[in-house]
Chain A
């Protein structure tokens, strides 16, 4: 900020001779020539300005061309393609029909959208009320419980209708993405926080440990996924089966297992509540293994920013280690936790490489997340119109999440 303003004030001054730079009263003394200095100034300024402009525009041109052609233009073109009946060869313009076929009917779509909107509104109102009342109550959420229930009803009404009349495999892939997000995001954040906290203590080989934890994150996902394919093989002598054998368990089919986890455990549940398949859980394990290191690094930088005095003061008051962690570390890190949650959540909707490499046909649709499904729809079934429509839906979900992230980041109560 400061940089900019100082640049502004200096810039017109530099090209002129030192005399003109100087105090204003000099100009006042020379009042008969008042018109002259500004014109000189203008001429000098405009020459430098023209040079600046030419430089600036020619400097950004290469980046603009590439980012426009391969980053921005494709968004518009994808939307254009989604309005066309496009299978390998370009067909007729069909408007929003591709979208309609995804949702089944617009009515379903609006029920779902309404559910989400009500929930967001409720949260927003609560936030505003709390601010107005200027206090934070532990039980204020109770008042909003009915609204949450209403939003849930709206959402599930629309969703179940969609599952019947809409594009079921795509909707199922969104459910799989949700499973994947719920299974990985909280786990990797908690493990990341714990490891970062332990590493932050006074220990030996700190750098060495950090180097090791970070390794899975920087190594190519395809390479490590190929290794996970072997570790979680269905053969009785695979590492995963040998490991559970230590506890006297029977060998499992791991990434070949399409049965939902709760059913596998012998519970008689159907549908969403039966949970993800074991094959998807293997993919989650890979996700956690990869991203813990990233979370550790971000948390470590956050831990470094907590003032030492706060800890010292609390220690003098006789706080235990656990109390320090619970009442100082966690609240101080809450913005980082929130940031990591949103970044990881958005990441699950983009995740592709490791899922694509780890999936096998016998795991069926149970491991296909949204981005993988869109890719298959386009790559194997060459339904370009439909696939781009789905990608726009995915994009909208990510936009929504980013919007919520920015809104909440701005409103965030620090000691939440």
Chain B
């Protein structure tokens, strides 16, 4: 104890020896951090600023609109159909999240808490799918959903084609399994004495204490589904076009209408932004602890 105090004092004196240098260091530190923050933020500022300009203003050298043109958003929403795409993306995202939660909670519980033959093999195969680039799976999956491999009809441009293939992934199962394994066995023993089976133990004891990893799974499922691009691009045409595909197509359809394009971009960003601001702790912690999702 005494020793530590002496040490801390000692460190304190070393640090205090050069106040001018320390202040200079602080200035440099904050300058670098602020420049970094400006670079991170600038594209977002530019997006919002341009979305509120008139068509003429976007073609001039201006930083801000003279009068914010809020009706750009209404125009992008209805005329450029971003409203329709927004609803599609929302439904697809919710459907995917629900699917992922059901499949991964059940599977993670089985892998974490029940010993069964083939468990290691199946889990390893699951993990192996995380390495496979989308380039490999894209073409066969296109045949799959067109009913060429399994005769279940053509799913092209439906709700199912955008959700079902993504309703289970190794990452979510892995994340939940890690957590479910830490639930003490005593709880299971107690539950079993009370006559509870696996399903009741899972829903009434395990799930209520697993909110943290479940939120992480929801966050990743949300960004994954909302940001998805290459798959929706090839399997949707009109009816189920998602926001990202709509935005990409609008790049060529809009021509010079940058203000509408930017309004669409802001619309596509808002749900992610809202979610991020409210759950950023879980977001960053989820990434730091899993390190996955490169």
For A375, list chain B residues within 8 Å (CB): 135, 138, 230
Contact of B230 among A56, A214, A230, A352 (CB under 8 A): A352
Interface size class of A (residues with CB under 8 A): 35 or more
- Pairwise interchain contact A391-B170, C-beta atoms closer than 8 A: no
Contact of B107 among A63, A316, A370 (CB under 8 A): A63
Tally A-B pairs: CB < 8 A. Answer: 282
- Pairwise interchain contact B143-A77, C-beta atoms closer than 8 A: yes
Please measure, in the bound complex, the distance between the C-alpha atom of A292 and the C-alpha atom of B33, giving whole angstroms: 13
- Pairwise interchain contact B44-A215, C-beta atoms closer than 8 A: yes
Contact of A52 among B36, B114, B248 (CB under 8 A): B114
Please measure, in the bound complex, the distance between the C-alpha atom of A64 and the C-alpha atom of B118, giving whole angstroms: 12
- Pairwise interchain contact A394-B135, C-beta atoms closer than 8 A: yes
> Is B136 in contact with chain A by the CB < 8 A criterion?
yes
Contact of A67 among B40, B169, B291 (CB under 8 A): B169
For B122, list chain A residues within 8 Å (CB): 60, 64
User: Quick one: which of A199-217 are within 8 Å of B by CB?
Assistant: 199, 201, 203, 209-216
Contact of B115 among A7, A194, A237 (CB under 8 A): A7
Contact of A223 among B128, B165, B247 (CB under 8 A): B247
- Pairwise interchain contact A226-B287, C-beta atoms closer than 8 A: no
For A226, list chain B residues within 8 Å (CB): 247-248, 251, 261, 265
B127-145 Cβ-contact flags toward A at 8 Å (1 or 0): 0110111111111110110
> Is B167 in contact with chain A by the CB < 8 A criterion?
yes
Stretch at the interface among A25-33, A150-158, A297-305: A297-305
User: Quick one: which of A279-302 are within 8 Å of B by CB?
Assistant: 289, 292-294, 297-298, 300-301
Contact of B140 among A62, A77, A212, A318 (CB under 8 A): A77
Stretch at the interface among A39-47, A134-142, A343-351: A343-351
For B110, list chain A residues within 8 Å (CB): 55-57, 59-60
B263-294 Cβ-contact flags toward A at 8 Å (1 or 0): 00100110011001100100110011101001
> Is B10 in contact with chain A by the CB < 8 A criterion?
yes
Interface residues of A (CB under 8 A from B): 3-4, 6-8, 10-11, 14, 51-53, 55-57, 59-60, 62-64, 66-67, 69-75, 77-78, 81, 191, 194-195, 198-199, 201, 203, 209-216, 218-224, 226-231, 237, 239, 242, 289, 292-294, 297-298, 300-301, 312, 315-316, 318, 321, 339, 343-344, 346-347, 349-350, 352-353, 356-357, 370-371, 374-375, 378-379, 384, 387-388, 390-392, 394-395, 398-399, 402
Beyond A60-B106, A203-B29, A203-B33, 6 additional pairs, beta carbon < 8 A: A67-B168, A210-B284, A219-B273, A239-B46, A294-B294, A312-B11
- A to B CB contacts below 8 Å, 22 in the list: A4-B115, A60-B110, A62-B102, A62-B103, A62-B168, A64-B107, A67-B125, A72-B128, A74-B136, A209-B37, A211-B280, A219-B272, A222-B229, A223-B244, A223-B247, A239-B46, A289-B40, A343-B291, A346-B294, A350-B133, A388-B139, A398-B131
